[in-house]
Chains A and B, each alone.
Chain A
């Protein structure tokens, strides 16, 4: 087994551990922290189911962003939808036999890669070109786009320029899953691609990518509008009631 294979295998185990544990700790932090007051942005649904649907619409359609800015909406919808497609396509590296639906998305997934990079470049263009957005951008915002563009374009290189032996890649991936390591092809684009993916997994729980769990815990969206019907006492706030005169 080459040093390279061992290094990448370990890298992916470490990255996965960081991603899973990091996210789990953030999610449990969000879940543990109370919301002491009712603060849904109104008009809001009156029931929990309604609020759940509202969150779903945010996740699937980016409802608020659509109200806000059609260009950002279009570009980020393009990026996120393509990303989902591309991720689905990649499932073939982790499944044997490959499920039918994963086979069916293969052709779309390939072009999804282009759409994803186009979406990202569009967002970057806005970040650089629009004064307001440039002003609020931190170096990390640019780096995050670069990282994603790097992942996308190295992936596209392998698909359309210097084709990689995907049978070998699949063997490596399955090997990781089943702890039976297989050698990793030493293709430069592949190594870059996988390295950047591991990096993305590692930074995920420490970066603005926390918007992914965040949206499911955002009180202005998740709370139903039922303030007059139900008290909403947080454990830390409840003892204050003992101090009142009446």
Chain B
């Protein structure tokens, strides 16, 4: 695909604090959802008549439902500590991409309609009534937030702009101003079972092709089972694993691990999607509905465990929300946490020596690892705090000889988003995505130059797609991005253990 014309930010060796360029991204907004995308989710098809009041009404409802929203809107002291923490601000210089400024777009309406100070002295506290102008700003700038939570790490009150963005999107959906990309995808899940709209028979055919590929590659019959009743494990993979590169290679990695471990597993047509876009649009109801497809699949197939494939935001919904949304899981094997991440699963096998791995298979690469924002700051793996940062690295180190971390301020809990998370992985937002990737690209560039890093691994379907797309803008090969189980797939010695 030809590269669109985008002014790619220059990589600097030392990160510079941008001087503000008001309005720099005022032209950036995603396509608005059509009635067909809105209605299956329970939202009005187009902007409703008295949308100003409806928006304020919805805000009132959300304030009563979410303590986070109420506390966050009240507590910000405008200290400015978060102002330089957002990758979209660093990459675009648009001041409305500073987390606090982004919050203030909603806070101004909250103050005007819900606080005595805003009602009495609007001008002094920057309160503004709901208006077309405000709605336009919301639509633009709440779709320039990848809900990565980096700002919340640094805020003295833990204010998480992601929560505010989700609330704003929820309000916009309810007045008929939804975003096409997310809502179209959710509608597909309801109709077909996954984000890609890949129907059952097509999925079956795809998996059969893959089995042949695996047989050619390894000489061994590695299976990719679909809808197998009574399997031990239900694997929920992001649907990109069924068709996109480099995602497929990680799917092969999972299959090989299951094969060598000799544990029966299955995918499900009905729940053929790990990603839950209900989170991006802040819709508890839609998130609940999508999550419960997994519950139903687990019950129908009679599995004992649920394992999630490589996907960051999927892992957030799975780890942090699934128990609440779709539990209790009393019908599953209580020996294992529900759900588990494929990283936890493989890590455990490696620790027990159940996999035969040849690290030299990855010797042509020097790896670094990109902590996906949702994994790093919203979930856990294993049984100790921070395991989500440790386990993936241990898996990589078990299958690769050469591994280097990027600058400490850009990984772990301080990781920079890939620039494509939070429901904005769509082509009309490409400029935003390219610019938002800048801080990650700077850190990557440094280890490429200083440590000879050739590849970067990740465990998120969005990160993989996003990097495949933006790496070339920064002069790198799109194949530079690898899945962790892609590395496992290279290293695992099939036929030696099972």
**Chain A interface residues toward B at CB < 8 A:** 26, 29-30, 33-39, 41-46, 58, 62, 64-65, 67-69, 72, 76, 126-127, 130-133, 135-141, 143, 203, 206-208, 210-211, 214-215, 217-221, 225, 227-234, 236-237, 240, 244-246
Contact = CB atoms under 8 A, between A and B. Distances in A.
B323 A227 contact: yes
B77 A206 contact: no
B125 interface: yes
A218 B65 contact: no
B157 A214 contact: yes
Contacts of B163: 39
B442 to A, nearest CB: 19
A218 B70 CA distance: 9
Contacts of B337: 228
Given A35-B67, A136-B101, A210 B74 contact: yes
B81 A135 contact: no
Nearest to B99: A136
B380 A231 contact: no
A140 B117 CA distance: 10
A61 B156 CA distance: 10
Find the residue from B71, B83, B295, B296 having the highest chain A CB count within 10 A.
B71
B321 A37 contact: yes
Contacts of A210: 74-75
Given A37-B324, A41-B152, A46-B384, 17 more contacts: A33-B65, A38-B324, A43-B386, A43-B389, A58-B158, A64-B81, A64-B155, A72-B80, A132-B20, A133-B83, A135-B20, A136-B101, A206-B117, A207-B117, A211-B74, A217-B67, A237-B324
A225 B68 CA distance: 16
Contact of B71 (A30, A64, A76): A30
A39 B378 CA distance: 7
Contact of B157 (A38, A130, A215): A215
Measured as residues with beta carbon below 8 angstroms from the partner, the interface class of chain B is 35 or more
B361 interface: no
A69 B80 CA distance: 9
B473 interface: no
A229 B327 CA distance: 11
Given A41-B153, A132-B95, A33 B75 contact: no
B344 to A, nearest CB: 11
Find the residue from B95, B338, B380 having the highest chain A CB count within 10 A.
B380
A220 B124 CA distance: 29
Contacts of A228: 319, 323, 337-339
B293 to A, nearest CB: 9
Find the residue from B64, B125, B289 having the highest chain A CB count within 10 A.
B125
Contacts of A26: 74
Contacts of A72: 79-81
Contacts of B378: 39, 41-42
Given A42-B378, A138-B78, A219 B68 contact: yes
A127 B388 CA distance: 37
A39 B104 contact: no
A220 B385 contact: no
A57 to B, nearest CB: 11
B19 A131 contact: yes
B98 A227 contact: no
Contacts of B101: 135-136
Interface string B240-262: 00000000000000000000000
A130 B95 CA distance: 13
Nearest to B298: A246
A231 B327 contact: yes
Contacts of B328: 231
Contacts of A34: 65-67
A143 to B, nearest CB: 7
Contacts of B211: none
Find the residue from A58, A217, A228 having the highest chain B CB count within 10 A.
A228
Contact of A39 (B17, B76, B121, B160): B160
Nearest to A34: B67
A218 B72 contact: yes
Contact of B125 (A30, A140, A220): A140
Given A41-B149, A126-B80, A138-B125, A215 B75 contact: yes
24 contacts: A30-B70, A33-B65, A34-B65, A39-B378, A42-B388, A43-B385, A46-B384, A64-B156, A69-B81, A132-B84, A133-B79, A135-B95, A136-B101, A140-B125, A206-B115, A206-B117, A207-B125, A211-B157, A215-B157, A217-B67, A218-B157, A219-B68, A233-B324, A245-B292
B130 interface: no
Given A64-B156, A139-B123, A43 B79 contact: no
